[in-house]
Structures are given as structure tokens and as C-alpha cells.
Amino acid sequence: MDIEELAKRAGKAYEEKNYVEAARLFYEGAEAGDGWCQYYMGQCYQYGWGVEKDMSYAAHYYAKSCNNDFNLAWGALGECYLYGLGVEKQVDLAYKYCKYGASLGDPYAMNHLGTMYVNGEGIERNFEEAFKWFKEAVACQNAPRIVYLHLGLLYLNGRGTTADYKLAAENIRIAAERGLTQAKSVLGFCYLHGYGVPKEPARAYGLFVIAAKEGDVEAMFNLGKMYLNGIGVNEKDRDKALYFLEMAKEHGHQKASELYDYVISNSWMGILANKIPEWVMKILS
């Protein structure tokens, strides 16, 4: 079977979610030296498609694909070096590979570059540069859903650009509708406070519930606060508030832990607003 036919069959198996067969064919093509197959073999090892997850093998095949200059491989290998996935963490190499991948039009590489600029990891923090790369990424076909959240957060906080709540909500909504849990939680925050969308606490509550079920800790924390404040729910409920605050606390949320401990040590519902310590009021706001 020639490499073109092999790649075609591998792609078909992948689209049909027959990952075991896809991985077998990708492996055959990868070992024959095809850059496209090498990249997707890396994907199989990164996400456990048809093989056991193994980031060292994923990085190995991404590097092989880079040697064949396959455009998507550079950002994937850069991600490995950025987070130490299967290789020793080296942010200088991560930046180099992602920058090259971005120059080839890879939106994933652009997203990694933007993230590095936001966090100031390996390079000087620069929100303007981050905004530029996130904006360029969403203009590409097949942009990763998380880049819409990243762009939305910059619009929301006015970092690297003028604050624009409407654009913030629009981008965050795209990420949420594509299934990104954190985006659902942030969109709930927008509805809770009316940032770029109508102020609808009940809708915020619904989004927080979905995100909390999917493991978002900030959503758990927000649900606890809503039950303490009686916002977006039928009535104040100390027990439900404690349930969600404890859930967030168990996941390491510091403010949830502080608020949980305070509520436990006080009758709470009987406390007048002017008697609540200022630090607690700041957490609740």
C-alpha cells in the first residue's frame, strides 16, 4: 500500500472513531517517514486514541513530524516543552517551536504563544502581544476552543486591548458552546454581573451548575456564594451554600476555604450585614 492510500485509510478510520485501526495505520505511515502520519501518531499517544497514553512517545513522534516540517507538529512539540510533557520543560524551546508553528499558520501554536505572553513564562509578560496572537488564532479555521476563552478574558479585563464586555461575552460563549467547561463558568460570571449580556442571575446559576458538575472549582465557589446571598436561587440556603463551598475547598480553593470556615463558625443567616467582617464581604462580592 503506498503512503497516500495508507494515509487516506488512516484518516477515514480516525473520522469513524475506529481509533485502534487508525493508530495502527498512522504508525505504519509514521515509520515509513510520513510527517502527517507522524503528527497524528503523536496525537494518538497524547490523547490515548487506540493506544495507551504516553507523552514521551507523543513528543517523539511530534519531533519526527517536525523533521518533515509538518506545520501542526511545531506547536504540538512546543506544548510538550512548555509544560514538560514527555520531555524536560524548556520554555525557550517551547517559544521557538511555537513561534515557528505560528508563522506556518497553526492556531494552536498561536494560542500557546499568547498564553506564554499572558503568564510571562520564558518571556516578558506582554498582554498586547498575547492579544495579537489570540486574535490571529481565532481568525484561522479550526481554531482551538480555548483560544476564544483566552481572547474573551482579555476583552473582559481590558488587558492588551480596550475592555469590551460585549466582545468578551461573544468569544466566551463560542468556547462554552463548544463544550469548554471553564468557559461555561466564566459565561455564568458574565450573566451574574451583566458583563456583555443581560444580568440574569438565574441563568448564571444554571451555567454554574453545569460547570460544577464537570469539575470547575470556581463554579462551585460561585454557587456557594449565590446560596449565601440568595441571588439566582429561590432563597438563601446555608446548607447548600456549605455543600458547594466545601466542594470547592476540597479542590484547594483558598477563598472558598476561608468562607466555609467562617460560615461554619457563625450562625450566618442571623448575622446582620453590618456585622459581617469586611474581608468576608469582599469574598462575597
Please indicate, yes or no, if residue 63 is contained in any of the structural domains. Answer: yes
Please indicate, yes or no, if residue 149 is contained in any of the structural domains. Answer: no
Please indicate, yes or no, if residue 178 is contained in any of the structural domains. Answer: no
Q: Where are the alpha helices (DSSP H) in 32-164?
A: 35-47, 55-67, 71-83, 91-103, 107-119, 127-138, 145-157
Rounded distance between C-alpha atoms, residue 210 and residue 215, angstroms: 9
Find all residues with CB under 8 Å of 155, minimum gap 6, and list them.
161, 163, 164, 165, 167, 168, 171
Please indicate, yes or no, if residue 204 is contained in any of the structural domains. Answer: no
Please indicate, yes or no, if residue 21 is contained in any of the structural domains. Answer: yes
Contacts 24+ apart (CB under 8 A), 28-36: 29/3, 30/61, 30/64, 32/3, 32/6, 33/68, 34/3, 34/6, 34/7, 34/68, 35/64, 35/65, 35/67, 35/68, 35/69, 35/70, 35/73, 36/7, 36/65, 36/70
| Tens-digit pLDDT profile for residues 116-138 | 999 998 899 999 999 999 999 99
Domain count, the chain: 2
pLDDT above 60: residue 279: no
pLDDT at 273: 45
What does R_g of the chain's alpha carbons equal in angstroms? 23
- Per the structure, the complete domain to which residue 234 belongs is given by 217-285
pLDDT above 60: residue 283: no
Please indicate, yes or no, if residue 114 is contained in any of the structural domains. Answer: no
Q: Which of 23, 46, 68 delimits the end of a domain? A: 68
Contact 203, 173 (CB under 8 A): no
Q: Which of 49, 68, 87 delimits the end of a domain? A: 68
Q: Which sign, positive or negative, has the C-alpha torsion 275, 278, 282, 283?
A: negative
Please indicate, yes or no, if residue 7 is contained in any of the structural domains. Answer: yes
Contact 37, 10 (CB under 8 A): yes
Q: Which of 35, 68, 101 delimits the end of a domain? A: 68
Please indicate, yes or no, if residue 9 is contained in any of the structural domains. Answer: yes
Rounded distance between C-alpha atoms, residue 230 and residue 223, angstroms: 10
- Which amino acid type is present at position 174? I
* pLDDT-based confidence at residue 271 (cuts at 50, 70, 90): very low
Name the pTM for this structure: 0.89
| Tens-digit pLDDT profile for residues 73-89 | 999 999 999 999 999 99
